[in-house]
Structure 1
Amino acid sequence: MFQAVSFALLDSLNALLIGVIVALGVMLPRTGRYRRIVTLLIAGDWLGVFLLALVTMLIFDGLGDLVQRALESPVFGILLIATGLITLVLTVRSSGNGDSALVRRLLGPLKEPSVKTVGVGFVLGVTQSATSLPFFTGLAFLSVSGYGPAVRYVGLIFYASLALSLPALSAFFVGMVRAYPYSPFGRAFEYMRVRQELMVRIAGYVVAVALTVFGIATLL
């Protein structure tokens, strides 16, 4: 269970969704409907993550002992290390602003709260998780955790929530900044805003190091 929680938290380092939330906080006027829009966006993202997790769990459960053997195989540890090293290289070579154009394109349907807002969140949730090794790794550990089906499938609710924990905290933080721009929250936000590239790089380094460490631990 610890491994599942750890990988779900790694998956929560969703730079694209956090970038969209920050952009909304900056773009929308103080009297804008920020809370409503961001709530719908995160709800849609959560739904996308949860449904993909549900389908993945059904597949993993159907594979039975194959998932357990894969997790115990040295190939799995090597894959984690390789992914960590690739993430490290991409982070070093990245400008930190690679998602800015995509963020601007996503903001169009998010100016007003609507069904489209939920749809954008849903697509972001599915896309982010479907391309995330930590997401699938955590579910694999949950599948072979030894808990009964009821615990595992109800646990998917918490798994999806953990995977959205950092974006949700970011949304709260940005909301506090909008409400109290001259508070410590506002000063901290300004510090991170002018150091956006650094923040993105730190997130990349955290994921890279964590995957590498988990991979090495698997091989020991």
Structure 2
Amino acid sequence: MIQAVSFGLLDSLNALLIGVIVALGVMLPRNAAYRRIVTLLILGDWFGVFLLSVITMVVFDGLGDLVQKALDSPVFGILLIATGVLTLVGTVRSNGSGDSPLVRRILAPLQAPSAKTVLVGFILGLAQSATSIPFFTGLAFLSAGDYHAAIRYVGLVVYASLALSLPTLSAVFVGLVRAYPYSVFGRAFEWMRNNRELVVKLAGYIVAVALTAFGIVALV
């Protein structure tokens, strides 16, 4: 269970969703419905993550002992280390601007709260999870654990929430900045904006080091 929680928290370092939330906080006018927009966005993202986690758990449960054998195999540790190294290389080579054309396209339908807001979040949740090694690794540990089926599937609610923990905290932080721009939150946000590359790269480094460390532990 600890492994599943660890990988769930690691999956919460969702740079794309956090970047969208921060961009909304900067771009939306002061009188805009920021709270409703971000709440619907995160809710949609949560449903995307939860749906994929349920599908993945059904598949993993159907594989039976193969999941545990894969986790016990040295190939699993090597895969984690390779992913960590690739993440590190990608982080070093990225410009860390966080202002990509993709983010700008995502922001277009998020100017007001609507069904599109939930849909965008849902698509982001599916896309982020489907391309996340920590997401699938955490579910593999949860599936291979000696837990009752009810506990595993109810636990997916917590797992999806863990995967959205950091974006949710980011949304609250940005909301406080918008409400109190001259507070300590506002000063911290201004520092992060002035050091955007450092902040983005730091998140990448954390994921890279954690994946590599988990891989080494799996091999020992």
Q: TM-score range by the shorter chain?
A: over 0.9
- Determine what percentage of the aligned residue pairs are the same residue: 75
In the other structure, the counterpart of 1:109 is 109
Write the distance in 2 (CA, Å) between the matches of 1:128 and 1:97: 19
The letter for the 1-side match of 2:149 is P
How many residues align? The count is: 220
Write the distance in 2 (CA, Å) between the matches of 1:150 and 1:192: 42
**Structure 2, unaligned runs of 5 or more:** none
Deviation at 1:99, TM superposition (A): 5.3
In the other structure, the counterpart of 1:10 is 10
The letter for the 2-side match of 1:207 is V
In the other structure, the counterpart of 2:72 is 72
Write the distance in 2 (CA, Å) between the matches of 1:75 and 1:217: 13
Q: 1:94 and 2:100 equivalent? A: no
In the other structure, the counterpart of 1:33 is 33
TM-score normalized by the length of structure 1: 0.99
In the other structure, the counterpart of 1:219 is 219
TM-score normalized by the length of structure 2: 0.99
Within 5 A, what are the aligned runs for 1:140-159?
A: 140-159=140-159
Write the distance in 1 (CA, Å) between the matches of 2:151 and 2:98: 39
CA deviation vs aligned residue, 1:60-118 (integer Å, no higher than 9, x gap): 00000000000000000000000000100110011113652111111110001000000
**More displaced stretch, 88-97 vs 71-80:** 88-97
Within 5 A, what are the aligned runs for 1:161-200?
A: 161-200=161-200
In the other structure, the counterpart of 1:138 is 138
**More displaced stretch, 95-104 vs 117-126:** 95-104
Deviation at 1:145, TM superposition (A): 1.1
**Structure 1, unaligned runs of 5 or more:** none
RMSD: 0.7
Assess if the C-alpha contact under 8 Å between 1:16 and 1:99 holds in 2: no
The letter for the 1-side match of 2:56 is T
In the other structure, the counterpart of 2:21 is 21
CA deviation vs aligned residue, 1:142-191 (integer Å, no higher than 9, x gap): 00111100100000000000000000000000000000000000000000
